Structure 1
Amino acid sequence: MELLATGFNAWGQLQFNRDQNEVDEPDDIHSFQPILKDDFIGRLYPSLSCTFVENTSGIRHAGFVEDDLECIQEKLLSSTAAIAGNGIVAEYDGRDTVFQYPSKSKDEQQRFTGMGHIVQLAAFETGFVALSHDGSVWSWGDERYIACLGREVTHSSPAERPGLVEELEDLPTGKIKKISAAGYLVLALTEGCDLYVWGGHPGRQALLEGLSSSPVPLVVEEKDITDCGVGESHIIVLTSEGDVYSIGENASGQLGLPLKEARSWTKVPLCLRAGRVVCGVEAGWRTSFILTKHQIL
């Protein structure tokens, strides 16, 4: 397998083989370049200044590890723990409870139950989204950024406690199989390869036309979507045909395109080694990642 990356690289977070004694600030990467090769590349967690990844040798990291991530890096490489941009951590205990606490202390711990068996947790700037085994999506966070919740906030279902995103129930192409979140945007992907989006920040230009506080279908060139990732202000997706598209800001090269920004979906030019296909995508704050594998004929 091979991991490719592009984007913001001020701390060397896209260089796993960088000499730690090197003093020069590394340049950003503006097109997808190979950064790691291994027989197995698993979970990936990109933060602002570092990238964690699981491979055959265990957990590897590149860049500068922030203090609040040092003690929870193994948790973040699971699918059921996440840290929001405001420094709050949420993690599922594997039974029936999600614990929430500040990253530097567990003294102010909160407990949330009633969401069933959680298979994925994702974090945006001010809150969280959880996906349960039955495809239900739950959200909670700061009520000042209510659009990120994708649901109505009421006295019985307040913003700060998990509430069901009801508009993602009984969808035409099946239940939700993956969630992705960052900045003030949330994505949800169905089993039938449809992508839904919601969110936004008051007073800021929306990344996508039609973006609102309710989940809406996200159409990418009429393609079926098999994977997705979202950063601070960009999105990357993988189609069923194996093509990669991106949209959003590109000041650090995070789109992998020769453009300052892309206001519409743009196909990313890739020069893959012979016999390799894209099998997954992910996004960090201002970075994007592509995972490739050998094509099985």
Structure 2
Amino acid sequence: MEDQAAAAIPISEDLSRKIISIAAGEAHTIVLTGDGCVYSWGRGMFGRLGTGKESDELVPVRVEFEFSGQVAGDRARIVGIAAGAYHSLAVSDDGSVWSWGYNIYGQLGFDGENSLAPYLIKSFFEQEGSSSSLNDSGRETRSDLKVCTVKAGSMMSLAIDSVGGLWMWGNVPPQDSGPEPPVSFTGIPIPFPIPEFHGRTVLKVACGDEHVVALVGPSGIHKDNSYDDSVLYSWGNNHRGQLGLGDRERRAIPQIVETFNQDSGLTVYDIACGAHHTALLTCKKENPKGPSNCWTFGFGENGQLGHGSTKSSSIPEPVSELPEHTYLVSVDCGLFHTSVVSSNGYVWSWGMERGLGLCPDVNFTEVEAGDDSVPRKISGGSRFRDPVQVSCGAAHTVLVANGGYKLWSWGRGRNGVLGSGDVSDHYVPTLVFWPNELKSEKEEVVPDDEKSASTEEMKRLESKLMVMERYASILHGSIFGKPFNEEEDIPYSLRVSGYFDMGKEWGEMLESADKSQLMRLQAFYEDMIGRVKDKVLQRRIQEIMKDCLQSSAPRH
């Protein structure tokens, strides 16, 4: 694992700008900031953005949470978020669970119409019949419980409570008292606990269209503890082998994925589900921060398993083409693609249409079309400083880097899902318009009129800087085929002295460029010069025509 200390840069700890979590749905994205606020953008249909309307948003907008009868100035402080295909979830620091968007299967936690704004799921732990199942194993009483984590699949919602209990609602496999109950997915609008995990601690959970995987530890383990003693379970539909159990039979109750049992010597520490495939990260138990592997199983027709073929697999297999001696910090699955990010800042993707998740009918202009069945470094191997998390939607990918202060996106851009201010597809990472507003709280007392003027001026400057940064990235990507990566791409003379010696830096840049960069630069330069010549010629023609018209005009 590479040492990143030298690459680190000091960043002001402004929690209102720091992104601590992201979640991508079918065509929308939501983020959570350090001060407990939620922002969303992308497609607004069904109210999945939580803005109170169904219009699309091309840049991040704030999602408002309101309690009935709340004191003025109070607000919910959100600590967790999740995105399903067309709905979203959030949990606040007091354990309240909020939902909004599409509700055909009751995935919002109530039986009713879609919700365009956050809806507070009332009496989460007061469902009939939930008390005895919780107390049988000596767990905390119902009044002491609160939700700590939320997760969403296609049309399904899940939550983990403060003692590790797992709850589900929406399009889920119903619990049956029979020894081998049939799997028959149906809409259940009321959250219910999973009895098989009573007395155990669910550490993480993920779900796809109709399958669920959960990482479960023994009783008493806390979420910030080691995953060494945890076991991986899966259940639900299995027609593509997405449960990793070696067959394609459906399971109504959780089953242990034997590849990662306690005798395997492997620790699973991150899990993700696509529509019909599953991905997870493991490391060796004796070296939890050492090199790690990505394993995949399930549907593979579009190369989303990364095994070098389009075959499906019902048995977990490692993605062998990823580099050795690398620690992977995050994995996520889109509809038909998979992405991982390493601790040293590199992103790999594989699956449908170049691993971007793009549909086969997309109009590729500069990128070779076709699915990638092996990992491909995104943007030619650009490095992203201090990566935090990668998240995949149906056909787009979002990355949080720079310790939470930078947000990148790429893939399908329709409906503004990339947050770049337009609806264009982007084949390389593009900066999201973030933050979309500047919050500045000062220690000293400032008169309201001065504070307002100062805030407005800072917002204006922040907006200008954001636009300049975006266009610098676009220009840099056009010339070098990779996004602008901040400090290492800023000319040395400008970094150390504030003076830019263009001639010297131009020469050094040409010396350090490889053949492909030089060819790309030549094409860019020739195109630019050609356009300038065209404009000069057009202006010259206009001047000649003007002179001719003036000379031929009748004189009096």
TM-score, structure 2 normalization = 0.42
- Give the match for residue 314 of structure 2: 160
User: Displacement of 1:68 after TM fit?
Assistant: 7.7
What are the residue-to-residue correspondences of 1:68-217 with 2, within 5 Å? 69=107, 72-74=157-159, 75=166, 80-85=204-209, 87-94=210-217, 95-102=230-237, 106-107=251-252, 110-115=255-260, 116-134=266-284, 135-145=292-302, 147-151=303-307, 159-168=313-322, 170-171=324-325, 174-200=326-352, 204=360, 209=367, 212-217=372-377
Is the alpha carbon distance of 1:42 and 1:161 closer, same or farther for their aligned partners in structure 2, counting shifts above 3 Å? farther
Deviations 1:190-243 (A, max 9, x none): 111211111116981578947611112213894415132221111222332833
Matched, 1:28 2:56: yes
SS in 2 for 1:117: strand
Question: Hey, what's the Cα distance between the residues in 2 that align with 1:249 and 1:158?
Answer: 25
Q: 2:409 aligns with which of 228, 232, 246?
A: 246
- Give the match for residue 11 of structure 1: 46
- Which gives a bigger RCO, structure 1 or 2 (Cα 8 Å, sep 6+)? 1
- Which is worse superposed, 160-169 or 195-204? 195-204
Is the alpha carbon distance of 1:106 and 1:158 closer, same or farther for their aligned partners in structure 2, counting shifts above 3 Å? closer
Counterpart amino acid of residue 102 in structure 2: F
- Give the match for residue 284 of structure 1: none
When the two chains are superposed, the root-mean-square deviation of aligned CA atoms in Å is 3.6
User: Displacement of 1:129 after TM fit?
Assistant: 0.3
- Which is worse superposed, 70-79 or 128-137? 70-79
- Give the match for residue 57 of structure 1: 94
Counterpart amino acid of residue 100 in structure 2: A
Greater radius of gyration (CA):
2
- Give the match for residue 48 of structure 1: 85
Deviations 1:217-272 (A, max 9, x none): 21389441513222111122233283322222222221123322133432222323
The structure richer in strand per residue is 1
Is the alpha carbon distance of 1:168 and 1:42 closer, same or farther for their aligned partners in structure 2, counting shifts above 3 Å? farther
Deviations 1:10-33 (A, max 9, x none): 2222217x4xxxxxx622222210
Deviations 1:104-161 (A, max 9, x none): x85376541233332221111221101225432110002434x11112579xx97112
Paired residues of 1:247 and 1:262 also in contact (CA < 8 A):
yes
Work out the number of aligned pairs and report it.
263
Question: Hey, what's the Cα distance between the residues in 2 that align with 1:261 and 1:89?
Answer: 33
Unpaired runs of at least 5, structure 1: 19-24, 277-297
- Give the match for residue 285 of structure 1: none
- Which is worse superposed, 76-85 or 241-250? 76-85
Question: Hey, what's the Cα distance between the residues in 2 that align with 1:99 and 1:127?
Answer: 12
Paired residues of 2:334 and 2:396 also in contact (CA < 8 A):
no
- Which is worse superposed, 160-169 or 239-248? 239-248
Is the alpha carbon distance of 1:220 and 1:265 closer, same or farther for their aligned partners in structure 2, counting shifts above 3 Å? farther
Paired residues of 1:79 and 1:121 also in contact (CA < 8 A):
no
Question: Hey, what's the Cα distance between the residues in 2 that align with 1:81 and 1:128?
Answer: 12
Percent identity reads 13
User: Displacement of 1:92 after TM fit?
Assistant: 2.6
Is the alpha carbon distance of 1:275 and 1:129 closer, same or farther for their aligned partners in structure 2, counting shifts above 3 Å? farther
Paired residues of 2:203 and 2:215 also in contact (CA < 8 A):
no
Q: 1:274 aligns with which of 428, 439, 457?
A: 439
SS in 2 for 1:162: strand
TM-score, structure 1 normalization = 0.74
Paired residues of 1:143 and 1:160 also in contact (CA < 8 A):
no
Is the alpha carbon distance of 1:107 and 1:246 closer, same or farther for their aligned partners in structure 2, counting shifts above 3 Å? closer
Is the alpha carbon distance of 1:160 and 1:66 closer, same or farther for their aligned partners in structure 2, counting shifts above 3 Å? farther
Paired residues of 2:414 and 2:425 also in contact (CA < 8 A):
no
Question: Hey, what's the Cα distance between the residues in 2 that align with 1:190 and 1:29?
Answer: 30
Question: Hey, what's the Cα distance between the residues in 2 that align with 1:246 and 1:252?
Answer: 14
Unpaired runs of at least 5, structure 2: 1-34, 66-74, 110-155, 160-165, 169-201, 218-229, 239-249, 261-265, 285-291, 442-556
Paired residues of 1:150 and 1:198 also in contact (CA < 8 A):
yes
Counterpart amino acid of residue 269 in structure 1: F
- Give the match for residue 283 of structure 1: none
- Which is worse superposed, 121-130 or 203-212? 203-212
Question: Hey, what's the Cα distance between the residues in 2 that align with 1:117 and 1:252?
Answer: 39
